[in-house]
Chain A
Amino acid sequence: MGENKHIEELDAFAKKYLKEIPTERPSVDFTANIMNTILADEKRVVFQNKSKLSNSIWFVLGGFIIASIYILFKGKSSEIKIPSFDFGSITLPDLPDYQMRHLLDNITFSSTTVYAFLIFIILFLVQGYFMKEYLTKRVS
């Protein structure tokens, strides 16, 4: 009983006087500072580099490059010929038979051109990787 009275008295004391304490206020530009930080963070997220190509596409691309290199080194000739495909097997009534059958027969590339093209692709991909790293560092 005595202890309860004691608690009640203290409770009344605290209630009576604590309410009179004025509230502290933050700085005038408090909200502006927070919003600036939030909006700046959002811009950073927008500029974040996200891989445009999925892993499977990278896998196919890598496979294509490896296969191309393999074919190049396997062949001895100085010219690379596009594998022939019998377009004549496709029956399109509106096109003359001769044009379809021999469409790619005469297209050939020199080995130098093909090597140059492959090296260009490889360097392009390598550059892409380094550019991504560079931009990520710069933005963050």
Chain B
Amino acid sequence: MTIKNDQTYIDKVLKGDSNAYAFLVEKYKVMVYSLAYKMLVNREEAEEVSQDTFIKAFKNLSKFEGKSKFSTWLYKIAYRSCLDTIKKNSAKYNITDINEITTNQIEETETVLDGIERKERAEIMNQCLLKLPEDERSVLWLFYFKELSLKEIIEVTSLSEANVKVKLHRARKHLLTIVQKNVEPEIINHYGRK
């Protein structure tokens, strides 16, 4: 139904009714912007890249063959635009290495997180997610938040399946490390040790 809807508006735009594009922008703006923000960690840049994404998509709409979902196609454009911006500001986005840990402390971290109010917990998780390296952060975001399948992530990122899987696994580990560091005082309080 969604795909059919999208295609209807795409056809209208291709026939010259540019105003029909507003429907597609309105429908997917949050999706594109949230990805851009998760990748760039800067509201102004995310807004700029998101707008560029929609303008690029509009100009290349005739090249959209409908083989994939329109949203996947948009994600692909947004992802590449974000990578270009990151390349331009490579120094800015350098993130220091994160030490990995074993996951025997997952339960401890979960217990502490569960004891925190939902809103505050979401904020902690968001801050932790933003501390991840960009490539891991975006893959994690697409997989868990946007619930894209591995196949769709491969299409968006142009990475191999093995590479996406490795990035996902590493990202989960890194996320846990960062979350644990963030809630360390609570863990010490709760368990009486580091």
Q: Is there an interface contact between A18 and B145, defined as CB atoms closer than 8 Å? A: yes
Q: Does B30 contact A (CB under 8 A)?
A: yes
Decide: A21 near B25, CB < 8 A? Known: A26-B30, A34-B55, A35-B19: no
Within 8 A of A (CB), among B104-146: 106, 109-110, 113, 118, 121-122, 125-126, 129, 140-141, 144-145
A interface, by DSSP: helix, strand, loop or mixed? Answer: helix
Measured CA separation A103–B142 after assembly (Å): 84
A2-22 near B? 1/0 per residue, CB < 8 Å: 000011011101111111111
Q: Does B51 contact A (CB under 8 A)?
A: yes
Q: Does B68 contact A (CB under 8 A)?
A: no
Instruction: State which of A6, A20, A33 has its C-beta within 8 Å of the C-beta of B118.
Output: A20
Instruction: State which of A7, A13, A18, A37 has its C-beta within 8 Å of the C-beta of B129.
Output: A18
Q: Is there an interface contact between B125 and A37, defined as CB atoms closer than 8 Å? A: no
Within 8 A of B (CB), among A10-53: 10-11, 13-27, 30-31, 33-35, 37-39, 42
B interface, by DSSP: helix, strand, loop or mixed? Answer: helix
Chain B residues with Cβ under 8 A from A19's Cβ? 144-145
Q: Does B167 contact A (CB under 8 A)?
A: no
Q: Is there an interface contact between A30 and B176, defined as CB atoms closer than 8 Å? A: no
- Nearest chain-B residue to A20 (Cβ)? B122
Q: List 23 A-B contacts (CB under 8 A).
A: A9-B103, A9-B106, A10-B172, A13-B175, A14-B172, A14-B175, A15-B144, A17-B121, A17-B179, A18-B125, A18-B129, A18-B140, A18-B141, A19-B144, A22-B122, A23-B34, A26-B50, A30-B29, A30-B51, A34-B58, A35-B19, A35-B25, A37-B55
